[in-house]
Structure 1
Amino acid sequence: MSHVNLIDLTILTVLTLGFIAFLLSEKVHISSIPILVILGFLFGPVFGLIPNAQGHTIFNYARVLGLVLILYTEGHNLKWSMIKKHVTTIGLMDTVGLLLTAAISGFLFSYVFDLPLGAGLLFGTIVSATDPATLIPLFKQNKVDENIKTVIVTESIFNDPLAIVLSTLAIAMVAPHADQAHLIETIAHYTTIYPAGIIYFLYVMVSSLALGVGLGVIGYWFIRWLKPGFFPQIFGISIAFGGFLIGEAVQTSGYLVATIIGIVFGNHAIMFKRWNEHEGFNQFIREEMHFNEIISDMASVFIFILFGATINISVLNETLLKGALIALGVVFIARPLAALIIVPLKKWTFKEYLFIALEGPRGVVPAALAGVPLSIGFMNHDQSLIYWGEIILSATIMTVLISVLLETLWVKTLSRKLLSPKE
């Protein structure tokens, strides 16, 4: 069979498995994510129906393109009024909380696997992000107080691109020869690596915000001018990928740029009020969002199935128990300790803090980033990074699976026991 036919067959297999996964998810009332990963694992390394080479090839594209679509789409769902109300809590969780989660998870990883702190740093940054693709449908199925839901979901949407930035910093420290580390290494010539990391992080935040808002405003005026009412789907995808490519071209976070554009469009009634918002914009956004959600679901299917299909089964067997321990450490140690930073605010009761601490499943971003160290190792013939990358990939799989399973299954019980019923 030709290479093209193998790729076509792999895509068909992935789509079929995705359809089965969503059917099972509806029947058993749990998130589709663990089902997707398990099906990918079964039909990949176990049964061999998804060829490893083709799986890796498609996954390398799907994890980038899919993340842009998912983050752009989820940005539409962030409401400015609720962000403004809980900006301090969200800000703390997405900065100090994210760093603490990465640091604690990384230390646990290095300790359990007896690996250098550099390997732990990579793992910690990869699993630091929580998953809006899991949380949003989960909270639709299970009634949760709007304030709690806003904090957890908004934190999740923002910490996805921020975790990608942190992972880039970790790669620069561990593998300075990697393409992702080029700008940080350039800055480090004039300082040292740690100040360079801080400068890079601040640059990414400011430039991504400016680009995202700027492109969102330009997109709005473009719609007013051309009135492309019949093509909102094409326009939405174009501006998302355009923002991503521009961001990457200027060495900032294209993912964060795409997210900010989504936020601008999702809050158009506030953002463009002073310019007498275009009367057809609501309809434009509704049509665009309907299409975006379908495409985002397809992106999740490819990311999670191929994530499972590219597992090295021998490495997974060797690291299964330790990987499960790490996963439980992320769920029960790293996340709750990191979330303690919101307790001094006196805005949340201890039970509300506990709910926030125990609802932080890992998903799309860790799945998409898990193979990056291994890919860099192969590209640069770095045997240490290949060895670390295999273990990081396996441990991330266990962390995604266990965190999603636990936190989707216990959400109803936690909500009933920890959150007061609201009128």
Structure 2
Amino acid sequence: METSIHTIACNNLLILFATIAITGIICSKASELMRIPDVVLFLVVGIFLGPSVLNMVDIGQFQVENQLILTFGSAFILYLGGKEVSLKVLKNVKVTVFLLSTLGVLISSFLMAKIIGLNFDISFMTCLLIGSIIASTDPATIVPIFNQVKIDKKVSQTVISESALNDATGAIMTVAVLSIILGGEFSIQDNIYNLCIMVIIGVVIGITTGLLLLYLVNDSPSGIFKDYTPIISILSVIIAYELATYLGGSGYMSCFIVGLITGNKQNFKLWLSQKHYDADCNVAETLGTICRMCIFIILGSQVQLTVLFQYFVPALISVLGFIFLVRPIVVLSCALVDRKAKWNKNQLLFMMWVRETGVIPAALCGIITAMKLPGSEIISSIVFMTILITLIVQGSTTKLVARKLGLLQEKYKIESVND
């Protein structure tokens, strides 16, 4: 009987994956024809396939598999994002990136607490908890969009780096506020210390893992595993994430650093042969596509439409305040003090607009709502409304806004004219 139950569960999981894969392929093709980011269609279709509508995709009975997809998928997409970042470009905007991923999260959390408090009759600490959850941006959303819409490198790499680094700040802020709500002890000094530890460990593990594994696949006698470069790349993500997490660091930051090292290997006098480089790129691109499909279709399937409709108007007002008031204040507060970056008006406007929310806030929301805290339905409603609006509205208009602001790279400017 036990074997039969396990067999049925295994078959259901395979059918679920096949459904997601087929749906993802169709959405990817449709996104090419419609000229919008594929993650937008993944999310929308996921909502319709989920329990709230057609009930064809329900990950609820596969909690371990769901966590595996969210964790590895986000880590690998973050790794791919790191590969797209140039150290030369990042060096010139490091102050802005640091401020956005630390001070920016704090400003966003407290301003959103004020806005949510005006729209909902809940305690300030619950409002601050919601603000902390949605304060961090999401690399799993931003990286795929920027891979499809090529814009000014200085801007895109700043936003990608911000999304890679601010999950640690957002997580610490969320835990700190939660500890106050649950009546535990809270210490600003301890939380700042924990944040620094997460950052330092994540960076150190990322650099160590990236350099060591890159050394083993480089095009020299020392590259004894160069024939297995794609496999080593996947292993580097898993090792970096797990080791950093085990030691108390930020696993996502560690994966981003590994990608950063890999994408800038020439700076460390390490190269791959063309054959192994092409193989690695092909496997990474394919796996990245699968991760995007699974993450966003499953994420969409978990949206509870009844809860969204119940608090639709106040949640919508809160999210609009987040987009049009909070984000601009955060960008101006963090970018204008960085004189070296020499930001112009159009670059600032674009950074104000692009700040999609996705997997990391959704995961934090899932943990919080599972604890059945007072106001958990309101928390869920605002978080998923933020995810839906920022992803669908901002994600689908990224190329349009970049074109209007003159930030598209040259060949994409020509394509946009023909759209």
Alignment of 1:201-220 (within 5 A): 201-220=195-214
Cα deviation, residue 318, structure 1: 0.8
Asked whether 1:61 is paired with 2:68, we answer: yes
CA RMSD of aligned residues (A): 2.8
1:27 to 9, 30, 33: 33
Alignment of 1:7-406 (within 5 A): 7-44=13-50, 45-51=52-58, 53-54=60-61, 56-139=63-146, 141-142=148-149, 144-174=151-181, 192-223=186-217, 225-270=222-267, 272-273=268-269, 277=270, 279-280=271-272, 284-341=276-333, 342-345=335-338, 347-375=342-370, 377=371, 383-384=372-373, 387-388=375-376, 390-406=377-393
Cα deviation, residue 43, structure 1: 1.4
For 1:17 and 1:420, the matched residues in 2 are separated by 32
Counterpart residue identity of residue 394, structure 1: S
For 1:384 and 1:134, the matched residues in 2 are separated by 28
- What are structure 2's unaligned runs of at least 5 residues? 411-419
Cα contact 2:299–2:359 (8 A) shared by 1: no
Cα deviation, residue 71, structure 1: 1.3
- Percent identity between the two aligned chains: 23
For 2:295 and 2:178, the matched residues in 1 are separated by 21
Counterpart residue identity of residue 73, structure 2: G
- 1:182 aligned partner: none
Can you list the C-alpha shifts for 1:82-101, whole angstroms capped at 9, x where unaligned?
Answer: 00122222222222222222
For 2:283 and 2:318, the matched residues in 1 are separated by 37
Cα contact 1:300–1:364 (8 A) shared by 2: no
| Alpha-carbon distance change, 364 to 32 in structure 1, aligned in 2, over 3 angstroms | farther
Cα deviation, residue 171, structure 1: 4.3
| Alpha-carbon distance change, 133 to 4 in structure 1, aligned in 2, over 3 angstroms | closer
Residue aligned with 1:394, SS: helix
| Alpha-carbon distance change, 344 to 222 in structure 1, aligned in 2, over 3 angstroms | closer
Residue aligned with 2:384, SS: helix
For 2:213 and 2:287, the matched residues in 1 are separated by 20
- What are structure 1's unaligned runs of at least 5 residues? 177-184, 378-382
For 1:421 and 1:371, the matched residues in 2 are separated by 36
| Alpha-carbon distance change, 412 to 249 in structure 1, aligned in 2, over 3 angstroms | closer
Question: How many pairs are equivalent?
Answer: 397
For 1:235 and 1:364, the matched residues in 2 are separated by 25
Residue aligned with 2:226, SS: coil
For 2:381 and 2:78, the matched residues in 1 are separated by 25
For 1:92 and 1:399, the matched residues in 2 are separated by 23
Cα contact 1:165–1:253 (8 A) shared by 2: no
For 2:43 and 2:408, the matched residues in 1 are separated by 34
Can you list the C-alpha shifts for 1:19-72, whole angstroms capped at 9, x where unaligned?
Answer: 222122222222222322222221112112223633655323221121111112
Counterpart residue identity of residue 356, structure 1: M
| Alpha-carbon distance change, 364 to 100 in structure 1, aligned in 2, over 3 angstroms | same
Counterpart residue identity of residue 264, structure 1: I
| Alpha-carbon distance change, 67 to 135 in structure 1, aligned in 2, over 3 angstroms | closer
Counterpart residue identity of residue 11, structure 2: N
Cα contact 2:347–2:407 (8 A) shared by 1: no
For 1:281 and 1:118, the matched residues in 2 are separated by 55
Can you list the C-alpha shifts for 1:189-225, whole angstroms capped at 9, x where unaligned?
Answer: xxx5322111101111112111211222222333353
For 1:305 and 1:252, the matched residues in 2 are separated by 29
Cα contact 1:38–1:308 (8 A) shared by 2: yes
Asked whether 1:4 is paired with 2:10, we answer: yes
Cα deviation, residue 248, structure 1: 1.6
For 2:12 and 2:205, the matched residues in 1 are separated by 39
